[in-house]
Amino acid sequence: MSALVLLVDDDSSVLASLALLLKQAGYRSHAVTSPKEAMLFLSSNQTDIVIQDMNFSRTTTGEEGLRLLKDIKLAHPQVPVILMTGWGSISLAVDGVKAGAFDFITKPWTNEQLLQSVKTALGLVLVGARSEHRKIATREELDTQYDFSSIIGSDPKLVAALEITGRVSNTDASVLISGESGTGKELVAEAIHRNSQRKNGPFLKVNLGGIATSLFDSEMFGHVKGAFTDARQDRQGRFAAANGGTIFLDEIGDLDSPCQVKMLRVLQDRTFEPVGSNKPLTVDVRVISASNVDLAKAVAEGRFREDLLYRINLIYIHLPPLRERRNDILSLANHFLRRAANIYGKTQPAFTDGAIEWLKNQPWPGNIRQLKQVVERAVILGKKETFGINELSGPAAAETERTTILPPVGGMTLDEIERAVIIKTIDHYQGNLSKVAESLGLSRAALYRRLEKFGIKS
């Protein structure tokens, strides 16, 4: 039997439109016009999802709608609720999401987006039901169900992240991946796409931190010929290029305020207008976002829109830094060693015991990316059949394998260790920040954030 959707709105024309749309999509629906009727229906009928308005005839400020939402989540916590509100009341919808709503749709709605939200909500309910009583999976168990071949490691923190990755892959839920630079956020995004029903569609990565504000509209939404001086032909934007697949919005925390507003609008209904055109385009894309900054903190500081955060953060996956999964360091290092030796046509060397200990004890502020670069550099420059500390750490290393170029770890916090590593690297490269960033496996933007964080003057 098809899913049953409860519709709650005091506007009979809205109810009729929604009922017809859901019927055409294969869903059953029941319509009521007041919160009281909604609660009565829920108490005696097995309902799969609720779509409710936030404003009823007796109020225009949303209190009644918010109260209904809270009552539903208290009495029927397993039933997802999708809110409907006007664009000017998005702050009200954000309050609803905080109170437990699954999603919010603005009026007038886009049929495709509304149906996609219903499908995603039902899919996540099914995923939750299947996993509710399941024990925590091992890496071996996950690998029998999903293709995680590009991700190395079996640390419990990584496995927990991969378990969420696998469970949400086959839905269209928006996903936010957090983690420091170099922790593998793009690999997880690719894994979500590869294990989804969209795997045969495009996977398009967009580094938002690298797009100038003046070019944002053209890059993301495209433009038509003649839209501006250099627009000599039509150009497809990133969202259109990702149609039918997945778009990965990397470094979304770097967007400035005007661009955040534009991004919110297109993520709301997947509709936009190319620069110079008044013809709206609608695309079918799944959105995965990533950030190495704390977006909740950015919201509190007024640097990131709260409504945008809730739009991209339906599912949250955090990737631990390499220093918190030290048992994976050797596996990763050996993987990079094999691959680099194959690429450069060299016999694969082995790590000495001292080198293994050195690798495991480094703070790795640049995480996996930095480890990869260290190993690859050693393969390129190395001439021995074994790699010790000297081969891995470069000319600045001390002469014996029990010596490290880094400060002693005992008694130091992780921030103190990272600050000391950055200062030593800046000294080694005589202030050349491009080489410092490359050596540490950081982007220049990430390095600048650390310099500001630690009060380091370059």
> How far is it, in rounded angstroms, from Cα 183 to Cα 322?
7
Long-range contacts of 100-105 (CB under 8 A, 24+ apart): 100/69, 100/70, 100/73, 101/69, 102/314, 103/314, 104/310, 105/51, 105/268
Query: Each residue of 150-170: pLDDT tens digit?
Result: 999 999 999 999 999 999 999
| pLDDT value for 137 | 83
Structure tokens at 282: 């609608």
- Could you tell me the pLDDT band of residue 265, with boundaries at 50, 70 and 90? confident
Q: CATH code for 4-131? A: 3.40.50.2300
- Contact by Cβ (8 Å): 450, 418: yes
**Residue 239: pLDDT over 70:** yes
> Could you say which DSSP state residue 235 is in?
B
| pLDDT value for 230 | 77
Q: CATH code for 407-458? A: 1.10.10.60
- Could you tell me the pLDDT band of residue 201, with boundaries at 50, 70 and 90? very high
- Could you tell me the pLDDT band of residue 128, with boundaries at 50, 70 and 90? low
Domain 322-401 CATH class label: mainly alpha
Mean per-residue pLDDT, 304-317:
92
**Residue 395: pLDDT over 70:** no
Structure tokens at 272: 């936009």
- Contact by Cβ (8 Å): 307, 94: yes
- Contact by Cβ (8 Å): 257, 214: no
**Residue 62: pLDDT over 90:** no
Give ranges for CATH 3.40.50.300 in the chain: 139-320
**Residue 411: pLDDT over 90:** no
- Judged on CB neighbours under 10 Å (0-12, 13-18, 19+), 175 is buried
Query: Each residue of 422-450: pLDDT tens digit?
Result: 887 888 787 888 888 877 777 777 788 78
Q: Which fold has domain 139-320?
A: Rossmann fold (3.40.50)
Give ranges for CATH 1.10.10.60 in the chain: 407-458
> How far is it, in rounded angstroms, from Cα 89 to Cα 85?
6
Look at residues 207, 435, 157, 450 and name the one whose alpha carbon lies nearest to residue 322.
157
User: Which residue would you say has higher pLDDT here, 402 or 203?
Assistant: 203
| Strand residues in 292-391 grouped as ranges (E) | 315-318, 350-351, 386-387
Strand order in the sheet with 175-178: 203-207, 246-250, 286-291, 175-178, 315-318
Strand bridging mode 281-282 / 271-272? antiparallel
Q: Which helix (H) or strand (E) element contains residue 281?
A: strand 281-282
- Could you tell me the pLDDT band of residue 135, with boundaries at 50, 70 and 90? low
- Residue % of the chain over a pLDDT of 70: 91
| pLDDT value for 213 | 87
Query: Each residue of 76-120: pLDDT tens digit?
Result: 999 999 998 876 567 787 888 888 999 888 888 889 889 989 998
Find the distance separating the first CA and the last CA of the chain, reported in whole Å: 66
**Residue 352: pLDDT over 50:** yes
Look at residues 448, 418, 412 and name the one whose alpha carbon lies nearest to residue 433.
448
Going 34 to 40 to 41 to 42, the CA torsion angle's sign is positive
Look at residues 259, 286, 288, 282 and name the one whose alpha carbon lies nearest to residue 270.
282
Give ranges for CATH 3.40.50.2300 in the chain: 4-131
Residue 118, C-beta contacts closer than 8 angstroms, at least 6 positions apart: 3, 5, 22, 25, 27, 49, 51, 82
The pTM score is: 0.77
> How far is it, in rounded angstroms, from Cα 414 to Cα 321?
11
Residue 144: count of CB within 10 angstroms of its CB? 8
- Contact by Cβ (8 Å): 37, 6: no
| pLDDT value for 384 | 81
Q: Average per-residue pLDDT in the chain?
A: 87
Query: Each residue of 2-22: pLDDT tens digit?
Result: 899 999 999 999 999 999 999
Give ranges for CATH 1.10.8.60 in the chain: 322-401
Query: Each residue of 212-227: pLDDT tens digit?
Result: 888 899 999 998 888 7
